[in-house]
Copies of this chain bind each other. A is one copy, B any other.
Amino acid sequence: MAAKPGARVSEAETKKQLEDFGDEILQDVKKGKNPKFTTLSRAKSNIIFNEKAGFLSLGSQSEERNFLNIAQSKRFMQTIAIAAKCHKFVKENLHTSIRGLFYQLKYSLGEDIDENIFNEQAESNPLIEDLEAALSTKRESLNLNANRRGVLAGNLRVIDNFGNERTETDTSKLGRSGWAIPSDVDNDIEFTDVKAKYVLVIEKDAVWQRLNEDGFWKKENCILISPQGQATRGTRRLIRKFADMDLPVYVFNDGDVWGWYIYWTIKTGSINLAYIGNEIATPSARFIGVTLSDMKRYEFLKNMTMKASEGDLKRCQEMLEYQWINKHKEWVEELQNAIKLKVKLEQDTLQGPRLTFIDDYIKDKIKNKEFLP
Is A181 interfacial (CB 8 A cutoff)? Answer: yes
CB atoms of A89 and B355 under 8 A apart = yes
Supposing A160-B177, A176-B160, A176-B182 touch, asked if A210 and B100 sit within 8 A by C-beta, the answer is yes
Task: Determine the distance from Cα of A202 to Cα of B106 in the docked complex, in whole angstroms.
Answer: 22
Is A165 interfacial (CB 8 A cutoff)? Answer: yes
CB atoms of A355 and B182 under 8 A apart = no
CB atoms of B163 and A355 under 8 A apart = no
- Is chain A's binding surface mostly helix, strand, loop or mixed? mixed
Copies in the complex: 2
Q: Which residue of chain B lies nearest to A175 when distances are taken between CB atoms in the complex? A: B160
Q: Which residues of B contact A163 (CB under 8 A)?
A: 176, 212-215
CB atoms of A97 and B209 under 8 A apart = yes
Is A337 interfacial (CB 8 A cutoff)? Answer: no
CB contact between A107 and one of B147, B189, B300 (< 8 Å): that residue: B300
Is A330 interfacial (CB 8 A cutoff)? Answer: no
CB atoms of A353 and B205 under 8 A apart = no
CB atoms of B177 and A346 under 8 A apart = no
Q: Which of A346-373 contact B (CB under 8 A)?
A: 346, 348-349, 351-353, 355-356
Is A110 interfacial (CB 8 A cutoff)? Answer: yes
Q: Which residues of B contact A169 (CB under 8 A)?
A: 173-175, 177
Number of interface residues of A (CB under 8 A): 61
Task: Determine the distance from Cα of A67 to Cα of B210 in the docked complex, in whole angstroms.
Answer: 33
Supposing A92-B355, A177-B179 touch, asked if A103 and B349 sit within 8 A by C-beta, the answer is yes
CB atoms of A206 and B303 under 8 A apart = no
CB contact between A348 and one of B94, B99, B176 (< 8 Å): that residue: B99
CB atoms of A103 and B356 under 8 A apart = no
Is A184 interfacial (CB 8 A cutoff)? Answer: yes
Nearest CB of chain B from residue A170's CB, rounded to whole Å: 9
Supposing A100-B351, A103-B352, A209-B145 touch, asked if A174 and B178 sit within 8 A by C-beta, the answer is no
A→B interface (CB under 8 Å): 89, 92, 94-97, 99-100, 102-104, 106-107, 110-111, 115, 145, 147-148, 151, 158, 160, 162-163, 165, 167-169, 173-184, 189, 205-207, 209-210, 212-215, 300, 303-304, 346, 348-349, 351-353, 355-356
* 12 residue pairs bridging A and B, Cβ less than 8 Å apart: A97-B210, A100-B206, A102-B348, A103-B352, A104-B352, A107-B303, A147-B205, A160-B177, A163-B215, A176-B184, A176-B189, A177-B180
